[in-house]
Amino acid sequence: AQTVTQSQPEMSVQEAETVTLSCTYDTSESDYYLFWYKQPPSRQMILVIRQEAYKQQNATENRFSVNFQKAAKSFSLKISDSQLGDAAMYFCAYLGSSNTGKLIFGQGTTLQVKP
């Protein structure tokens, strides 16, 4: 069974600085997809960034980028120029190739942004 692990329960960053959130996963599949979701205090789950496993190029979305290391089964999220609005819980998620849409989430990392 696939698992997703986020080993950092909490992280903090100074406004305008860069922070990296870690995620590792375990799977025997070769084709899969990885996501980072953000959950601010409003509770709404918001997609931040996604990555196809077959793509070697790391995904980027404005200030958000990932470091995808397929062999190491690692999928970290880098937030550059952190803003107060980035404060939230961040979830790493795995989607396998079974075409059921079953997202498997990590435990989450709470990010605090200090002014």
Partner 1 sequence: DTAVSQTPKYLVTQMGNDKSIKCEQNLGHDTMYWYKQDSKKFLKIMFSYNNKELIINETVPNRFSPKSPDKAHLNLHINSLELGDSAVYFCASSRIAGGVKNIQYFGAGTRLSVL
Which positions from 61 through 80 interact with partner 1, judged by CB under 8 A? none
Q: Is 103 in the site for partner 1 (CB under 8 A)?
A: yes
Beta pairing partners, 26: 3
Closest listed residue to residue 49, CA positions, set 90, 11, 5, 8:
90
Binding test (CB under 8 A) with partner 1, winner from 13, 21, 88, 95: 95
Residue among 48 and 113 whose Cβ is closer to partner 1: 48
Residues 6+ apart with CB under 8 A from 106: 4, 5, 6, 23, 25, 91, 92, 93
Binding residues (CB under 8 A) for partner 1: these are 33, 39, 42-47, 50, 52, 89, 91, 95, 97-105, 107-108
